[in-house]
Chains A and B, each alone.
Chain A
């Protein structure tokens, strides 16, 4: 199942710089996208989401961009902090047609170096 793909298994950035995490999808029925952060031995924690009717959503240091024509979304973290080091998952929902299941990407391990 490759409907949601995160091509970068890892990303390393310096504290204070921008982190950009990318996600691609293939299912055009997806209409809602979410980013989750996960620490070891914990469950995914919701970060930010975006509906397909928008192309940008911002919440503090986190911004998600959606390019529907390219079926691509990205999460920007500015400025990055060492506490942001975690695995980031992109997830997508096809709304009511799918029974609201989430389809996850593989995750990207972000390391923010002090």
Chain B
């Protein structure tokens, strides 16, 4: 069964450093998403991406965040200057026809120290 692949599975970074989280969505999917889950809290929407541009972003997704689809297969989330409160599980998701068929990756655990 097709999967959404995320790398790395765990990243530790120092406060103020830039991080890039990587995702390979399912190949025929057209809509891409990032969500995050801070420990003990809800899964929260960050951003959606379609046709090479952001289609929607939440209030969490401020100027420190950016997304990119640098080639035909990867979808990345960049955090420019990490803060302690950015520590969370970050999930990538993709679908061909939202809201149907949303598939999530296994997540990247980001720890900011």
**A interface residues, Cβ below 8 angstroms from B:** 1, 32, 34, 36, 41-46, 49, 89, 91, 93, 95, 98-107
Chain A positions within 8 Å of B104 at CB level: 36, 43-45
Instruction: Determine whether the beta carbon of A106 is less than 8 Å from that of B42.
Output: yes
Residue of B whose beta carbon sits closest to that of A31 = B99
Stretch at the interface among B12-20, B43-51, B63-71: B43-51
Chain B positions within 8 Å of A42 at CB level: 106-107
**B interface residues, Cβ below 8 angstroms from A:** 4, 6, 31, 33, 35, 41-45, 48, 55-56, 58, 91, 93, 95, 98-107, 109
Known contacts: A43-B91, A43-B107. The answer to whether A102 contacts B102 by CB under 8 A is: yes
Known contacts: A44-B91, A45-B104. The answer to whether A104 contacts B48 by CB under 8 A is: no
Chain A positions within 8 Å of B33 at CB level: 101
Measured CB to CB, the closest approach of chain B to A24, in angstroms, equals 14
Known contacts: A43-B106, A44-B104. The answer to whether A107 contacts B45 by CB under 8 A is: no
For the complex, give the distance between the alpha carbons of A44 and B104 in Å: 6
Instruction: Determine whether the beta carbon of B43 is less than 8 Å from that of A89.
Output: yes
Known contacts: A49-B100, A93-B98. The answer to whether A100 contacts B106 by CB under 8 A is: no
Chain B positions within 8 Å of A36 at CB level: 104
Choose one: A44, A46, A100; the contact of B31 (CB below 8 Å).
A100
For the complex, give the distance between the alpha carbons of A32 and B45 in Å: 16
Known contacts: A43-B91, A44-B91, A102-B45. The answer to whether A34 contacts B102 by CB under 8 A is: yes
Choose one: A49, A99, A101, A107; the contact of B42 (CB below 8 Å).
A107
